[in-house]
Structure 1
Amino acid sequence: MYREWHGPEQGPVVLLSSGLGGAAGYWAGQIPALVAAGYRVLAYDQRGTGRSREALPAGYSIAHMAMDVKQLLDAEGVSRCHFIGHALGGLVGLQLALEQPRAVASLVLINAWAAPNPHSARCFEARLALLDHVGAKAYVEAQPIFLYPASWAAAHAERVQAEVDHALAHFPGAETMHARINALRQFDVAAQLGRIEVPTLLSVAKDDALVPYTCSDRLRVGIAGAVQHTLAHGGHAHNVTEAELFNEVLLGFLGR
């Protein structure tokens, strides 16, 4: 898989795992802050997305994605990392912490969840219906509706349009998107959360239109010692829309 390093050659490693889009570029708002704080940052394009266009295996699952991360860490000679995951990327972090606990120094989960919920399922059904019956352009054009608050998207219209254009130009194909969405919809580790013992930060926005903030509440209850930071505003991608505040909380957590 495509991967990129940022920051010093020595120091604690932070691995960044994106959401459904899967691309390393999602973390542009966090990488400079992490590097300035002395972290070695490893970002990657998930299998089947961006510059990692390998075919997905049959029965593709979050467990496959976690295995990809472990193989990536092994290939880069990294035995342990701070794992930061957004949405689907957070699910990968949960799976990795369950299967390879020694590889995870800490978890940061941004608008993640431990089990399916009917609201998110409805959102994904609507997105797949757009993809199947209207096409990739409609699917990609709808993406900002789920990622960003309406006020932020309107105020940053040129940026949002540039993201849409880039996503359409690099669209991985309907079959890949179906497999990735099916993987996250099948994910359920609610009964196993008590096994996760690494320090965990839950970062959540109450106005997330895709994932109910109560999903993070359930993670906090299930993971012993987990701490939660809640924003009233910021949307599903609040590490983008409220990057400065998110980075402050993130670095404070990692520093502890």
Structure 2
Amino acid sequence: MLRTLLAAALLIVAAAARAEPDPGLAYGPELDGFPQPFPVARHAVTSQRQPVQMGYLDVPPERPNGRTAVLLHGKNFCAATWEGTIRALTGAGYRVVAPDQIGFCTSTKPAAYQFSFRQLAQNTHDLLAHLGIERPVVIGHSTGGMLAAHYALLYPRETGRLVMVNPIGLEDWSRKGLPPIPIEQWYARELKTTAASIRAYEQATYYAGQWEERYEPWVQMLAGLFRGPGREAVAWNSALLYDMIVTQPVVDRFPDIAVPTLLLIGQKDVTAIGKDLAPPEVRGRLGHYPELGRAAAAAIPGARLVEFPDLGHAPQMQDPAAFHRALLDGIAAP
């Protein structure tokens, strides 16, 4: 009996070893081959003594209202994942520019780059200057929300309005007890990324435990980067970016934000970068978005807070209709 069970177990292991660990389409290091919802333009610059390029979407409105919205994506997102919001904003008269930051999606994955929020904000500012855009509505989600806060702090006179959608960076994880995490550890973890791991994480945090098939293309978008020929470069850039996020907090600068600010917060969000690597006693103190959103609204002068009681980290994707109503209402005043 024991031999039979052992033989069966060995057959299962052998079958698993032969199986494709993460079947699906593979994309190039700049998301080559992924079907984009809008044409991708390229902005080539020299940054940190090397040529790099930013992919971006520049989508004209149906009936222009003379205003521009800039959409800043999150860590596990791309410009393309703003598709529904782009259509809502252009339908309301806004020109929409959605860049992929250096290290992400359709943009360059440098082997060596000093990633900082100031650098990414400067790259975005250079792109907007190139396009002749002044005083846009700057809308950032997740890591993009943290970047949007830095952008408003660096360029207050050139920011018409700031919108942060479930931004990370509402707390300083290191101050709350997150231990130092070597970049090599981030890199090793990122190399293990699969569609299954992405899907499980997104279901738990982005969608408050729910799942719908309409979320799957965005899972496959990310997974395709990690299946592709540039997976090591993608994983290394991802590791460098995680280090940037954890080591460059912005929450203490919130009182210095001097532009009209709207916070859109899904209340079932539990996101905290590195929480899975924190000791259990620390893990439980991180990612309480109802408290964090209200604290941020109190800290930012004149900020307006809109809460979505049943939504998670990505309200713009989980309930687009409710989210876009709140967004368009919140940015309607010039």
Fold in common (TM above 0.5): yes
Instruction: Give, in whole Å, the separation in 2 of the partners of 1:146 and 1:50.
Output: 21
Amino acid at match of 1:116: D
The answer to whether structure 1 residue 216 and structure 2 residue 275 are counterparts is no
Task: Compare CA radii of gyration and give the structure with the larger one.
Answer: 2
* Stretch moving more, 186-195 or 202-211: 186-195
Instruction: Give, in whole Å, the separation in 2 of the partners of 1:64 and 1:102.
Output: 18
Instruction: Give, in whole Å, the separation in 2 of the partners of 1:96 and 1:120.
Output: 27
Amino acid at match of 2:223: L
- Contact preservation (8 Å) 1:22, 1:45: no
Instruction: Give, in whole Å, the separation in 2 of the partners of 1:169 and 1:240.
Output: 20
The answer to whether structure 1 residue 72 and structure 2 residue 148 are counterparts is no
- Contact preservation (8 Å) 1:16, 1:84: yes
Cα gap change, 1:204 to 1:131, in 2 (>3 Å): farther
- Contact preservation (8 Å) 2:254, 2:300: yes
TM-score of the two chains, using structure 1 as the length reference:
0.87
Amino acid at match of 2:97: L
SS of 1:236's partner is: coil
Cα gap change, 1:130 to 1:164, in 2 (>3 Å): farther
How far does residue 22 in structure 1 lie from its aligned partner after superposition? 4.4
Instruction: Give, in whole Å, the separation in 2 of the partners of 1:71 and 1:129.
Output: 30
* Stretch moving more, 158-167 or 68-77: 158-167
* Stretch moving more, 225-234 or 179-188: 179-188
- Residue matched to 2:60: 7
SS of 1:28's partner is: helix
Instruction: Give, in whole Å, the separation in 2 of the partners of 1:120 and 1:67.
Output: 31
Choose which of 208, 222, 238 in structure 1 pairs with 2:315.
238
Cα gap change, 1:33 to 1:205, in 2 (>3 Å): same
Deviations for 1:137-190, whole angstroms, at most 9, x for unmatched residues? 164344413322222x1xx1x333332222111246221111111111122233
Instruction: Give, in whole Å, the separation in 2 of the partners of 1:41 and 1:5.
Output: 6
The answer to whether structure 1 residue 248 and structure 2 residue 325 are counterparts is yes
Query: Tell me, which stretches of 5 or more residues in structure 1 are unaligned?
Result: none
Query: Tell me, which stretches of 5 or more residues in structure 2 are unaligned?
Result: 1-53, 227-232, 272-286
TM-score of the two chains, using structure 2 as the length reference:
0.68
- Residue matched to 1:94: 149
Cα gap change, 1:120 to 1:82, in 2 (>3 Å): farther
Deviations for 1:191-233, whole angstroms, at most 9, x for unmatched residues? 3222211111101111102142122222111111000001111
1:108-127 alignment runs, 5 A limit: 108-112=163-167, 113-117=169-173
Instruction: Give, in whole Å, the separation in 2 of the partners of 1:159 and 1:60.
Output: 32
SS of 2:160's partner is: strand
Instruction: Give, in whole Å, the separation in 1 of the partners of 2:251 and 2:265.
Output: 18
SS of 2:153's partner is: helix
- Residue matched to 2:257: 196
Number of equivalences: 249
Name the one with the larger helix percent. Answer: 1
Cα gap change, 1:134 to 1:167, in 2 (>3 Å): closer
How far does residue 33 in structure 1 lie from its aligned partner after superposition? 1.2
The answer to whether structure 1 residue 135 and structure 2 residue 196 are counterparts is no
Instruction: Give, in whole Å, the separation in 2 of the partners of 1:56 and 1:88.
Output: 21
State, as a whole percentage, how many aligned pairs show the same letter. Answer: 26
